[in-house]
Amino acid sequence: MSEVIVALDLPSGSEAIRLLDRLAEVQWVKVGAILMTREGPELVRVLVERGLKVFLDLKWHDIPNTVAEAVSAAGALGVSMATVHTLGGAAMMEAAAKAAGSRPALVGVTVLTSHDSASYSRAVGRRGVDLDREVERQSGEAVQAGLAGIVCSPQEVPAVRGVVGPERWIVVPGIRGQGDARGDQARVATAGRAAASGATHLVVGRPITQALDPAAAFRGLVEEARCSGF
Ligand code: C5P
């Protein structure tokens, strides 16, 4: 069954804690660039002490030594999952995987869910990139380097599963209900569709954090994922 990870993209740690006080059943939270920059590692410690599994999503893309040291620091903080960019290359991913050992689970960010083919093709200076094939290609590199999973859009999950095998994690942002605003996300699907296609973790931010009733929104997503899960 897919697990729902709440992306804490909020302006302050105190707002994140207030939200979590309303989400009694949540097990996984994601701390990204916004809260890490505002609050630093102390917030991660607080979340870990609350018994939450923390996904530290800083999407590292740097030289191998720097990324490996950052991964070790995340492990020492008690982080359960962290991200590197697969375009950082094989040597970077291998160094990161070696530094991680069994924790944190390192997952490789492939093509950001905010890209469509046109914007990604422009970013990499190639014409008409087929995003399914590109995500498959990057997933293969990540598996070879020893990463524990992949971050991709819900639309590529079946293709990625074929590359990474049955055990690795497939983590998908870009979760939107039928009536939800897409915002800056381009490649989206519902929680039900993402779960049915075999994603192991669904990352959801604004559909929960901006809901009038975040607890009801969270429960609805968990239920949708449970009913549709593979
Ligand atoms: O608010 P929303 O549900 O769009 O949030 C999605 C979260 O997932 C954000 O925190 C974003 O940084 C993250 N993410 C993403 N696309 C990726 C990787 C991570 O949207 N490819």
Indicate which CATH number applies to the domain containing 149: 3.20.20.70
Instruction: Indicate if the pLDDT at residue 134 is higher than 80.
Output: yes
Amino acid at 141: E
pLDDT at 228: 80
Instruction: Indicate if the pLDDT at residue 210 is higher than 80.
Output: yes
Q: Which atom of ligand 1 is nearest to the CA of 176?
A: 3
- CA atoms of 114 and 111, how far apart (whole Å): 8
Instruction: Indicate if the pLDDT at residue 190 is higher than 80.
Output: yes
Residue length of the chain: 230
Number of domains in the chain: 1
Residue closest via CA to ligand 1's atom 13 equals 173
H helix runs in 3-156, sequence order: 13-22, 33-39, 41-49, 64-77, 90-100, 117-124, 131-145
pLDDT tens sequence across 81-106: 999 999 999 999 999 999 999 999 99
Question: pLDDT-derived band of residue 136, with 50, 70 and 90 as boundaries?
Answer: very high
Query: Mean of the pLDDT values across residues 208-213?
Result: 96
Nearest to 214 by CA among 26, 3, 27: 26
DSSP string of 121-180?
HHHHT-SS--HHHHHHHHHHHHHHHT-SEEE--GGGHHHHHHHHTTTSEEEE--B--TTS
Q: How many whole angstroms from 10 Cα to the centroid of ligand 1?
A: 13
Amino acid at 79: V
pLDDT tens sequence across 32-78: 999 999 999 999 999 999 999 999 999 999 999 999 999 999 999 99
Residue closest via CA to ligand 1's atom 3 equals 205
Instruction: Indicate if the pLDDT at residue 230 is higher than 70.
Output: no
Query: Mean of the pLDDT values across residues 141-153?
Result: 98
Q: How many whole angstroms from 5 Cα to the centroid of ligand 1?
A: 11
CA distances to 13, 50, 209, 213 from 108, rounded to whole Å, are 26, 27, 25, 32
Q: Are 28 and 5 in contact (CB under 8 A)?
A: yes
- Residue linked to tokens 């969270």: 218
Instruction: Give yes or no for residue 108 CB within 6 A of ligand 1.
Output: no
| Domain containing residue 68 | 3-228
Instruction: Give yes or no for residue 32 CB within 6 A of ligand 1.
Output: yes
What average pLDDT does the structure give for the chain? Answer: 97
pLDDT at 110: 98
